Copies of this chain bind each other. A is one copy, B any other.
């Protein structure tokens, strides 16, 4: 095929198709050949848009981070750090839980990905403005990230085999672990909300009195 009048591909189309492929079949399924087939082009065509597969993967990962709402950290967000942190955590978890197969890559840190760095910058700046000392703000940003990425990755829903016999004999307390998938999803939601509120309550106990802020 000769050069088409209008390009068949674009970075955005490729990234969207790649994310769909990873969501549907996992990270290992993301090969240049399979991705190209889904886009009805040949494998090497992708190299006109991304220099390497790593560059493509970076773009896919950062597109997920771009789904996280950061609006609550803006000037009109108000001074309620608990409320803002809660809203942000929910949006962050929603974005990651929609694409669990890519979370292991994303969790390794922001690298040089713009959306990931923008997120880290926004939450740190917000916490400092809200009155948290810089050291505490760094720790809170990190520990919230632990909890949220863990929620998306270590989902209760995905992890227990649906095999009652497995539990009966050997693991006496796990008799209810082989639940319907919907049940398990409800457990994940409940665990996330319980943990989030507990964390916010625990952090509020540590919020410094005005005179000791720095």
Residue ranges of A at the interface with B (Cβ–Cβ < 8 Å):
104, 107-112, 114, 117-118, 120-122, 124-125, 128, 134-136, 138-140, 142-143, 145-151, 153-156, 158-161, 166-167, 170-174, 176-177, 187-188, 190-192, 194-195, 197-203, 205-206
Contact = CB atoms under 8 A, between A and B. Distances in A.
Contacts of A197: 202
Given A109-B159, A110-B160, A146-B147, A206 B202 contact: no
Given A150-B148, A160-B110, A201-B205, A139 B194 contact: yes
A73 to B, nearest CB: 10
A36 to B, nearest CB: 22
Contact of A124 (B112, B125, B173): B173
Nearest to A173: B125
A172 B125 contact: yes
B107 A150 contact: yes
30 contacts: A107-B153, A108-B153, A108-B159, A109-B159, A111-B159, A112-B161, A117-B166, A117-B171, A117-B174, A120-B177, A121-B171, A121-B173, A121-B174, A124-B173, A124-B174, A135-B190, A139-B191, A139-B194, A139-B195, A140-B191, A142-B154, A143-B147, A143-B191, A145-B156, A146-B147, A146-B154, A150-B150, A194-B206, A198-B198, A201-B205
A58 to B, nearest CB: 13
Given A147-B147, A202-B202, 19 more contacts: A109-B159, A109-B160, A114-B170, A118-B171, A120-B177, A121-B171, A121-B173, A124-B174, A125-B173, A139-B190, A142-B154, A143-B151, A146-B154, A146-B191, A150-B151, A153-B153, A198-B199, A201-B202, A201-B205
